[in-house]
Structure 1
Amino acid sequence: MAPSDDVILRTSGLRKEFKGFVAVDGVDLAVRRGSVHALIGPNGAGKTTCFNLLTKFLKPTAGTITYNSRDITGMRPAEIARLGLVRSFQISAVFPHLTVLENVRVALQRRRGGSYDFWRSERVLARLDDDATDLLEAVGLAAYRNGTAGELPYGRKRALEIATTLALGPEMMLLDEPTAGMGAEDVERTAQLIRRVSADRTVLMVEHNLSVVSTLSDRITVLARGQVLAEGDYDTVSADPRVLEAYIGTGHA
């Protein structure tokens, strides 16, 4: 276990019940600062429920969640976002009729003190264009800046979603299945993007593509039946007989 001051996100005894069904059962998780940490497991393992607990879309039945040593168990998603813990695709392309640049610019308006200046002049909003352009360049979308967001290919929309998340200045990003539904080319492009954006921040991701997990992750937590089954680097967990058994018949083994 890393020293406490090296852990940015920690859960203790995290539990979630739905009318008698235990979806997450006593999960202890420690995400080290500056790492890429993957949360994986077969279907029904409790990954999505756990992720929704961490990002405050669900309230835990029991247990605690701390971020930067601060108890955030009872906080709302917007509150933890202001602390620097931001879930990607939370601000997915909600403005499909705006340009790619305008979508990122809307997210950047948070820097003006939390007010979304929809009625401010174009001149005022244009002051954010340089920052928005920098973010688009970072995710490989500079060539699409003036195109309509709704017309982007699927993989490029995911890149835009990451750009809008980055616009909020997160210290830690939580990525929910970032390569889901993508073809091989988009998967590789997105994996490279995640590698770039993780250079100076912490990333926790739920991901089904084990090739992506093996390439990007510093540490992996495997869930099964709502509990932590194994934890370690990819070589460690992929060689664990319990992990292999959990994945048998799922197409991932």
Structure 2
Amino acid sequence: MSSDIILETRGLVKEFKGFVAVGDVNLQVRRGTIHALIGPNGAGKTTCFNLLTKFLEPTRGQILFDGHDITRDKPADIARRGVVRSFQISSTFPNMSVLENVRVALQQTLGTAFSFWRSERTLDQLNGRCMELLGFVGLAEFAHLKAMELPYGRKRALEIATTLAMDPKLMLLDEPTQGMGSEDVDMITQLIKKVAANRTVLMVEHNMGVVGNIADVITVLQFGQVIAEGPYAEVSRNPQVLEAYMGSADEELAGAH
């Protein structure tokens, strides 16, 4: 495994009672890049993410991260190695403040992860780092609001802050701009760019404008198999990709950049 490849899958297969959801996927994610996984509905993108974070066990194949075979690791071991998925710890706690949400994620640095009964004072030492992370994602001024009071786009920014609190080497973002208006999409797109300045990002994303804007490499799945891979300009002209998106997305793919 080349040292510039942070994540690799070899012949990754997932079958559900004879149905092949992911079939022989060979993926290589380069260190320090934004790599997007795209494809029509039912293409196997989420199943792929679930295999990488060990929410599902592969039927066959191998997953390597940072040179280590992690195929049989448990989800918690994967997170400890530095592979963190945006929802893993960040379906935010609605009744806790924005700052408290980040502090829960940071508790692992004290070795008191999720010990809610601990005295709050023992956690105050984390506040400086919390504010740093909130400043990074543009939420410092909202620190004392309850998470439920944040507008939708800002909630996603909070999820990214809690994910960053885990200090990931590889950040997996699952549909980061889903359900957003264009202003929020722009905000989150810029935030992903900023996050990726010193780490690797692998994202599943439907919005072709976002993908065309920030992805260094795009892997296209259809029926659980890779049908194309490369930079956006190349992938968006690939006849097989255009066909997979069935006409209506031809314009979307061609006009997104």
| Structure 1 residue ranges (4+ consecutive) displaced by more than 4 angstroms after TM superposition | none
What displacement does 1:146 show?
0.3
Q: How far does residue 232 in structure 1 lie from its aligned partner after superposition?
A: 0.4
Aligned to 2:219: 221
Instruction: Write the letter of the residue equivalent to 2:66.
Output: N
Letter in 2 for 1:124: T
- Against the structure 1 CA distance between its residues 114 and 250, is the aligned structure 2 distance closer, same or farther, given a 3 Å change threshold? farther
Partner residue, 1:205: 203
Shift of 1:250: 5.0
Measured against aligned partners, the alpha-carbon deviations of 1:55-93 in whole angstroms (never above 9, x if no partner) come to 111111110000001011111111100001100121124
Say whether 1:234 aligns with 2:232. yes
CA contact (8 A) 1:23 1:226 kept: yes
Which residue does the alignment assign to 2:179? 181
Aligned partner (choices 78, 81, 84) of residue 79 of structure 2: 81
- Give the share of equivalent positions with the same residue, in percent: 64
Residue 118 of structure 1 pairs with residue 116 of structure 2? yes
Aligned pair partner of 1:25 in 23, 26, 39: 23
Q: Which residue of 2 aligns with 1:192?
A: 190
Match of 1:97 in 2: 95
Q: Structure 1 unaligned runs (5+)? A: none
Structure 1 length as normaliser, TM-score?
Answer: 0.96
Structure 1 residues 245, 77: closer, same or farther in 2, change over 3 A? same
Verify the 8 A CA contact 2:34 2:217 in the aligned structure 1: yes
Q: How far did residue 114 of structure 1 move?
A: 5.1
SS for the counterpart of 1:108 is helix
Q: Could you tell me how far apart the structure 1 residues matched to 2:170 and 2:197 are?
A: 11
CA distance, structure 1, for counterparts of residue 209 and residue 38 of structure 2: 12
SS at match of 2:100: helix
* Number of residue pairs matched by the alignment: 251
How far off its partner does 1:122 sit? 2.4
Contact 2:92 2:147 in 1 (8 A): no
Deviation string, structure 1 residues 141-187 (Cα, Å, up to 9, x no partner): 11110000112111111111110000011111000000001111110
3-state DSSP of counterpart to 1:48: helix
TM-superposed deviation, 1:140: 0.7
Query: Which residue, 228, 244, 247 being the options, matches 1:246?
Result: 244
SS at match of 1:147: coil
Deviates more, 1:92-101 or 1:22-31: 92-101
* CA–CA distance in structure 2, aligned partners of residues 112 and 94 of structure 1: 20
1:137 aligned partner, one-letter code: G
Instruction: Say which of 53, 74, 97 aligns to 1:55.
Output: 53
Structure-2 change in CA distance of 1:48 and 1:250 (3 Å): farther
Q: Is the 8 A contact 1:88 1:176 kept in 2?
A: yes
Superposition RMSD on alpha carbons, in Å? 1.2
